[in-house]
Amino acid sequence: MHENDLFPLEAVPSRVKSAILHEFKGRRPTVQEVSRICDKSWLAVPGIGQTALASIRQAAGDQHPLRGDPSAARMSDAELLVRLNLLQEELQSLNEVLNATLSPAQKKVLRSGRTRRASSPTHRHQGSVIAF
């Protein structure tokens, strides 16, 4: 496929086709025009997520579907496990930083997963007030 060819809209799902046409104000773009848009910009377009972006890159003949992020489909199980471990370590580190900056009361709210409710004696059956 050449860069000046029209983008093969029929090769992508209909919602992706609609998002592409909307992005190009109703006209059919060339492969080069679609390829010039960086992944970050595509992901900001409504209706375009990682899967849709991968289908766009595949239809455009892009050899690197998610630039800057190695394709999980091409990674071995061992590479995926290493990546998973690194991500889990990063998550744990972020959790530690968050816990270090929160007050004990804020930690309690986060652990419980809900806000505390304080009921008013005069409005006991009519609802409650959320206390932060």
Max CA-CA distance within the chain? 74
- Residue written as tokens 């997520």? 49
For 100, the 3-state DSSP assignment is: helix
Helix (H) or strand (E) holding 130: strand 129-131
pLDDT of 64 reads 47
Give the pLDDT of residue 104: 76
* Residue in this structure with the two tokens 């496990």, named with its chain if needed: 81
Measured between alpha carbons, how far is 52 from 50 in angstroms, rounded to an integer?
6
Q: Tell me the pTM.
A: 0.47
Q: Can you name the residues that pair with 129 across neighbouring β-strands?
A: 118
Q: What is the pLDDT along the chain (132 residues), one digit of tens a residue?
A: 677 889 999 999 999 999 999 999 999 999 999 988 988 899 999 889 999 999 999 998 874 444 445 566 677 888 888 888 878 888 888 788 888 887 777 767 767 765 555 444 444 444 444 444
